[in-house]
Amino acid sequence: MAKKKTKFICQDCGYESPKWMGKCPGCGNWNTMVEEVEQVAANRRGAFTGATTSTSLKPQSISSIESTSEPRIFTKLSELNRVLGGGIVKGSLVLIGGDPGIGKSTLLLQTSAQLADSNYKVLYISGEESTKQTKLRADRLNINAPQLYVHSETNLELISHIISEMNPDFVVIDSIQTIYHPDITSAPGSVSQVRECTADLMRIAKTEGIAIFIVGHVTKEGAIAGPRLLEHMVDTVLYFEGERHHTYRILRAVKNRFGSTNEMGIFEMKESGLEEVLNPSEIFLEERSQGAAGSIVVASMEGTRPVLVELQALISPTSFGNPRRMATGIDHNRVSLLMAVLEKRVGLLLQNQDAYLKVAGGVKLDEPAIDLAIAVSIASSFRDIPSNPADVVIGEIGLTGEVRRVSRIEQRVQEAVKLGFKRVILPERNLGGWNIPKGVEVVGVSTVAEALQYTLGG
């Protein structure tokens, strides 16, 4: 007979304790310890008696293993294919997280319908909606694919039975926090349930060769709800970002065993569903005001794609004891660092100025190549001198005020030329080794002061 064991598990980080505690020692959060009951086998040693008689293969030399390329399945959404690393890999487990109402279910339902139209059998399991409610959403998206099967179920054993009977090519679970395993006594969405259900789905994906997409809820901090172990178990973790009151959505990969994690896909939410944005630079620059101080355009790399976005800065005298440093879309610590460089190396008196910076369009930039554009926008707003609207600024800044080289400079410049920009300010060490496109002036600078001389005239 199995005996019951009670333990307390943190619902944020998965820390286990034999007794209840108000504050979790693992993550430091309060009131996150929840009592759960686990089944403990009476003879634990007997569970491993078959390990020595296993027929598993012996370890092989890596040079003797044949390398085979995994075939990928392409969807009709090229943005999704890019973020996944070139398409869907059979037998993969993909986790998609995002805020409520951001469009996770819409994206997966559209993708399921497109795969079903390509003669793939797709099973869409919803634990939050009935089949009629899913049908209403499908009618709104003009979806009527015979190969797309919809089912409403939360019991994992029944779900596994349905998958084994149907043998689909793709499975969508919406969402993992609503699925429960009947052998576990804790509530759906708890650490134990999420962990065990994900482990069973991973086993199904690997043994049957079925690509499984699971939807994960997020916490108020923006992380996927449940233990961090959930992100370690799956093959790919995608985040669907964007403001609910804006139409543009950004799909990012924060983990991908089959591709790069630097790719970004951009979609526009419309009444008929999500539509991909093939040229995001035009979208981010379409509302740019001409001749405004503090505005500059930077060419940033999002994976293998160059994206031109507008950086805006507002510098004003402070009315507080300590000046404020606020930034949206970029790290505010980097803003403070670059303001210190401008004050020390260029002579701008910024210690009594509030600084507010924003990346227009809701994009988040984290690469060093945007440093020079941040510095130029701050100096432009501080001096109240607008920069040339036909300029694009690229470069990394060191603490001594030097401008360092950046990667993939040719792709950045070509994107600027395609959108009609006439001059590109870039690091001097990036000038050689590539062909400069026609119709654009390329200016190499070695210091921040030199870049301000070209862009602001001093």
What are the tens digits of pLDDT across the range 331-340?
Answer: 999 999 999 9
* pLDDT number for residue 455: 92
* pLDDT number for residue 47: 38
| Number of separate domains in the chain | 3
Asked whether residue 67 is domain-assigned, the answer is no
Please compute the mean of the pLDDT values over residues 286-312 and round it to a whole number: 89
pLDDT tops 60 at residue 2: no
pLDDT over 70 percentage in the chain: 91
Distance, C-alpha 80 to centroid of its chain: 12
- The confidence band for 222, taking pLDDT boundaries of 50, 70 and 90, is low
Q: Are residues 358 and 379 in the same domain?
A: yes
Q: What is the CATH number of the domain that holds 118?
A: 3.40.50.300
Q: Are residues 319 and 267 in the same domain?
A: no
- The confidence band for 453, taking pLDDT boundaries of 50, 70 and 90, is very high
Question: CA 257 → CA 233, 332, 367, distances in Å?
Answer: 11, 31, 22
Peptide bond before residue 175 is cis, with ω within 30 degrees of 0:
yes
3-state secondary structure of 65: coil
Q: Which of these ranges, 4-8, 145-149, 382-386, has the smallest mean pLDDT? A: 4-8
Tens digit of each residue's pLDDT (9 = 90 or more) over 61-74 = 988 888 777 788 99
Q: Which of 261, 278, 295 is the last residue of a domain?
A: 278
Q: Which of 278, 294, 311 is the last residue of a domain?
A: 278
Amino acid type, 3:
K
pLDDT over 90 percentage in the chain: 58
Q: Are residues 149 and 205 in the same domain?
A: yes
Question: Distance between CA atoms of 458 and 446, rounded to whole angstroms?
Answer: 15
The pair of structure tokens assigned to 403 is 């401008």
- The confidence band for 219, taking pLDDT boundaries of 50, 70 and 90, is low
Q: Are residues 268 and 288 in the same domain?
A: no
* pLDDT number for residue 53: 37
Q: Are residues 249 and 308 in the same domain?
A: no
Domain containing 334: what range? 283-456
* pLDDT number for residue 224: 63
Asked whether residue 98 is domain-assigned, the answer is yes
* pLDDT number for residue 232: 84
Binding residues: 98-105
User: Nearest-5° angle of CA 138, CA 143, CA 144?
Assistant: 110
The pair of structure tokens assigned to 341 is 């460089």
Q: Are residues 314 and 376 in the same domain?
A: yes
The pair of structure tokens assigned to 397 is 């800044």
Q: Which of 262, 278, 294 is the last residue of a domain?
A: 278
Tens digit of each residue's pLDDT (9 = 90 or more) over 109-157 = 999 999 999 999 999 999 989 999 999 999 999 999 999 999 999 999 9
Q: Are residues 130 and 91 in the same domain?
A: yes
Amino acid type, 283:
I
pLDDT tops 50 at residue 52: no
Strands 72-73 and 93-98: unpaired
Place of tokens 């064991």: 5
Question: Distance between CA atoms of 393 and 205, rounded to whole angstroms?
Answer: 46
pLDDT tops 90 at residue 166: yes
Question: Distance between CA atoms of 375 and 399, rounded to whole angstroms?
Answer: 12
Asked whether residue 221 is domain-assigned, the answer is yes
Neighbours of 19 (CB within 10 A): 9
Q: Are residues 249 and 180 in the same domain?
A: yes
Q: Are residues 239 and 349 in the same domain?
A: no
Q: Are residues 207 and 99 in the same domain?
A: yes
Tens digit of each residue's pLDDT (9 = 90 or more) over 250-267 = 898 989 998 888 788 889
* pLDDT number for residue 272: 86
Binding residues for ATP: 98-105
- The confidence band for 303, taking pLDDT boundaries of 50, 70 and 90, is confident
